[in-house]
Chain A
């Protein structure tokens, strides 16, 4: 498919999903009521719009980062969580909740998440400083293990059931009750991260030939790796700090668009970013529309429910291709 046409179609789909997302919510309001001054407009501007903007930003950076990492590592199972950034951000946020900082300082949770994500990424990069791609994957999983251990410890030692419940809810990932403050905190990091990641496109195309050939074609492979990691740390760290860990978006989005761009890793970046945004906007919409008895299903849980069967399919599909 023509890449420009694909991008256009994805943008139209994202617009459609966005409009649907603005119209849906606990209070049923018509488009006219939402635009009139008063309660409708307050709901639109203070509740639904920041939530939509975050869904677009977070989905986009997850899809983009997944596409970059899969191209960089030349592995279809790579995803942003691999570097330990998501786990580090989760640990940071959990610490803020655990010590009750979130009650004292507004936005303490995402700020601590941001710091945690950056520390984890720095640690993973330091662990893999002399090795290649494999060292990076191992460094990332080591950092993830440490962060997950910290999160479990916090749950174990939670001073009261309410704190444990709050930690659990945060870990499930959600965009409910997010404000413009969350947007202001995360957007600059996500935008800068996305620009860094988008700059790797041409290098990723050449990397389809392996590192030696890419190097011979003038690609600075180690510099590309650093840019990809830094972009992921900034963007995904900020995204996770605001929404909690959203698994599978970074894995699924690149796979959906890759066949449509002829499997060229660099060409998949913008479509994967848009597909990630669509996925999160639609999933966030679904959490408001699909209701069971009891509390609403969290965004992260909802995406995992769709994502895990896809992951299973992917594993089977790759095994078939390998044989």
Chain B
């Protein structure tokens, strides 16, 4: 079922058009990978879809425009993680995760006791119980990625938008991160992820949007988009997809 739909979304930075005429739909229960070369507009597309960037065109969440839903209402239903998400003060992991509940808090006063179980749940879901009291500035890359994901899912948003969650992670942690996002989609949420790692996209995504020069060049199911001709044209390099019992993998040839 369609949750988020973009129609004719265009983003300008100064006189430059970084995203032009984007039409796309994102459904509940599906993980959509946004792929494309550096500077293609992947991050801009995600920021626009998250509603944190001024755009022209229309974006609707469940048939309601972002303007109607409002800043706070949107924040309650959608979570967004930028690239290299980090924490600036040595705040404890538990408190960082609690920040994900900010849009649900009353304007004044602290965290209501009724919300504490949500934090415990998110910590458990991301295997963070042991790190609960650790300062968030004192974590490894893999641990920080899990903390940020826990922060994003603590309010159980219908829509989860994540920009490059696997950048800088070793293969084991990258797969772990992708698996957790997959689990969100399997739980019925819409998940949009920008990915550089095409093997992960091939393995974990349902749908793929290929972006280049601010436009969508291909869009559809993984099998329809992740083909040698489409990827070759997208990245301007030769692409070979090899399939065996262990799944498919993508190789680039010069």
- Chain A residues at the B interface, C-beta cutoff of 8 Å: 3, 74, 201-202, 205-210, 212-213, 215-220, 258, 262-265
- Chain B residues at the A interface, C-beta cutoff of 8 Å: 47, 50, 52, 71-72, 74-76, 78-82, 85-92, 95-96, 99-100, 102-103, 105, 107-108, 110, 135, 151
Q: Which DSSP category, helix, strand, loop or mixed, fits chain B's interface? A: mixed
Q: Are B76 and A218 in contact (CB under 8 A)?
A: yes
Q: How far is the CB of B15 from chain A (nearest CB, A)?
A: 15
Q: Are B75 and A218 in contact (CB under 8 A)?
A: yes
Q: How far is the CB of A152 from chain B (nearest CB, A)?
A: 36
- Could you tell me the distance between the alpha carbons of A201 and B79 in the complex, rounded to whole angstroms? 21
Q: Are A208 and B102 in contact (CB under 8 A)?
A: no
Q: A209 contacts which chain B residues (CB < 8 A)?
A: 85-88, 96, 99, 151
Which of these, B74, B75, B79, B91, contacts A208 with CB under 8 Å?
A: B91
Q: How far is the CB of B55 from chain A (nearest CB, A)?
A: 14
Given contacts A212-B80, A213-B85, A216-B82, 19 further A-B contacts (CB under 8 A): A3-B110, A202-B108, A205-B99, A205-B102, A208-B89, A208-B91, A208-B99, A209-B86, A209-B88, A212-B52, A216-B50, A217-B75, A217-B99, A217-B103, A218-B74, A218-B75, A220-B71, A262-B91, A265-B89
Q: Are A217 and B91 in contact (CB under 8 A)?
A: no
Q: B81 contacts which chain A residues (CB < 8 A)?
A: 213
Q: How far is the CB of B229 from chain A (nearest CB, A)?
A: 35
Q: How far is the CB of A60 from chain B (nearest CB, A)?
A: 19
Q: Assuming the A-B contacts A202-B107, A217-B75, A218-B102, are A208 and B88 also in contact, with contact meaning beta carbons closer than 8 angstroms in the complex? A: yes
Q: How far is the CB of A220 from chain B (nearest CB, A)?
A: 7
Q: A201 contacts which chain B residues (CB < 8 A)?
A: 108
Q: How far is the CB of B164 from chain A (nearest CB, A)?
A: 13
Instruction: Count contacts between A and B, CB distance < 8 Å.
Output: 72
Interface centre among A209, A218, A220, A265 (most CB of B within 10 A): A209
Q: A218 contacts which chain B residues (CB < 8 A)?
A: 71-72, 74-76, 102-103
Q: Are B86 and A202 in contact (CB under 8 A)?
A: no
- Could you tell me the distance between the alpha carbons of A265 and B87 in the complex, rounded to whole angstroms? 12
Q: B102 contacts which chain A residues (CB < 8 A)?
A: 202, 205-206, 217-219
Q: B75 contacts which chain A residues (CB < 8 A)?
A: 216-218
- Could you tell me the distance between the alpha carbons of A263 and B138 in the complex, rounded to whole angstroms? 13
Closest residue of chain A to B94 (Cβ to Cβ) is A262
Q: Assuming the A-B contacts A206-B102, A208-B91, A262-B92, are A216 and B72 also in contact, with contact meaning beta carbons closer than 8 angstroms in the complex? A: no
Q: How far is the CB of B193 from chain A (nearest CB, A)?
A: 15
Q: A215 contacts which chain B residues (CB < 8 A)?
A: 52
Q: Assuming the A-B contacts A206-B102, A208-B99, A209-B96, are A216 and B79 also in contact, with contact meaning beta carbons closer than 8 angstroms in the complex? A: yes
Closest residue of chain A to B73 (Cβ to Cβ) is A218
